Amino acid sequence: MNWRSIFAIVRRDLTVVARAKAVMIPLVVVPVILFVGLPLLVSFAIDAAGSDIEDLLPLIEALPERIRASLGDGSLLEQAQVYLLEYQFATFFLIVPLMVCSVIAADSFAGEKERKTLEALLYTPTTDRELYLAKLLGPWLAAITVTVASYGLYLVVCNVALAATIGRPVALTPLWVVVVLWLSPGMAALGLSVLVIVSARVRGFQEAYQVGGVLVLPIVALVAAQFAGLLFVDTAFAILLGSLTWAVAVAVMAVGFGRFRRERLLEQV
């Protein structure tokens, strides 16, 4: 395995991504909206609700006992805020790695075909396996970086900006460690393995990006299911979901690698 070539492709792909406004804007704007704007909005909305906070009582009462116990013995207002910021946002958080890897993979693969820069790459001594790995590794590393940065941002918002409102540490739990370091990387790997297969079949960035958008839908369903009380994502569930995600990601990668041939890529150059 020629790691120098692999990291050269990774560095090149990330450099050109960083110089494309159309690609960078969602990478910056989406995490800021989700993990700065939204928590502030949620917290202020609950504060503003005042006496109407009883409306949230059924949601809190429906929680399993182990989750309710973890919310502390504060007021209902505090428990509602902690629940939303601690648990609901943990599943919401999974949108970030999927969004990042779909944007970058779309640019580094389908976008490369669109810009007609792929053919020269195919004429290098890089093997199909190295090319495949490089195309996975670049967006995956970027997804992990943005995920960790988003988590840092979220910690600051919850534990500094909202410290006075909530009155206890938030998102500093085993659940968040599992989400950030196990489940999110798995989600990014799964999203990427699907996108690389898809990107090899489409002609341009926009087409690949739209397909990438579809990948977020299961996460939206997960968020909705949790909000509706159909399931509760705790640490054990996150570990299980992460394991499943990694298993499927590895399987899809194996399929993708089997299909990843220069010859197939050339058909659309």
Partner 1 sequence: MPVAEPALVVRGVTRRFGEVTALDRVDFQVEYGQVIGLLGHNGAGKTTTIRLLNGLLAPDEGEVRTMGLDPVADGAEVRRHTGVLTETPSLDDRMSGLEAMRFWAAMWGVPKDAVDRRVMELLERFRLTDRARDRIGGYSRGMRQRLALARTLLHDPPLLFLDEPTAALDPVAARGVRDMVRTLAAEDRRTVLICTHNLAEAQDLCDRVVILRRGRVLADGTTAELVGAASVPVALILEVEGEQVSEARRITETFGEVKRVDGGRIDLDGVTRERLPDLVAALVEAGVGIYRVAPEEPSLESAYLALYGEETEG
Binding site for partner 1 (CB under 8 A): 2, 4-5, 8-9, 11-12, 15-16, 19-20, 115-127, 262-263, 266-267
Burial (CB count within 10 angstroms: exposed 0-12, middle 13-18, buried 19+), residue 248:
middle
Q: In the numeric block, which tokens belong to residue 217? A: 């839908």
Contact status, residue 123 vs residue 262, Cβ threshold 8 Å: no
Tokens 């494309």, residue?
Answer: 20
Q: Which is nearer to partner 1, 120 or 160 (CB)?
A: 120
Give φ, ψ of 168 to 5 degrees: -155, 160
Query: Whose Cβ is closer to partner 1: residue 80's or residue 103's?
Result: 103
* Shortest distance, position 121 Cβ to partner 1, whole Å: 8
Q: How far is the CB of 196 from partner 1 (least distance, A)?
A: 19
Nearer to partner 1, 20 or 63 (CB): 20
Q: How far apart are CB 18 and partner 1 at their closest, in Å?
A: 9
CB atoms within 10 A of CB 183: 28
In the complex, least distance from residue 123 CB atom to partner 1, rounded to whole angstroms: 4
CB 198 within 8 A of CB 165: no
Q: Kindly state the tokens that stand for 169.
A: 């540490």
How far apart, in whole angstroms, are the C-alpha atoms of residue 187 and residue 22?
A: 23
Residue (86 or 130) nearer to partner 1, CB: 130
Q: Using alpha carbons, list the distances in angstroms from residue 194 to 98, 129, 201, 208, 213.
A: 11, 16, 11, 11, 12
* Residue number, 8 or 149, with CB nearest to partner 1: 8
The secondary structure of residue 37, as a DSSP letter, is: I
The smaller minimum CB distance to partner 1, of residues 66 and 264, is found at 264
> 161 exposed, middle or buried (CB, 10 Å; 0-12, 13-18, 19+)?
middle
- Minimum distance, C-beta of residue 191 to partner 1, in the bound complex (Å): 24
Task: Provide the minimum distance between the beta carbon of 135 and partner 1 in the complex, in angstroms, as a whole number.
Answer: 14
Q: Kindly tell me which of 12 and 68 has the beta carbon lying closer to partner 1.
A: 12
Least separation in angstroms between residue 4's CB and partner 1 is 6
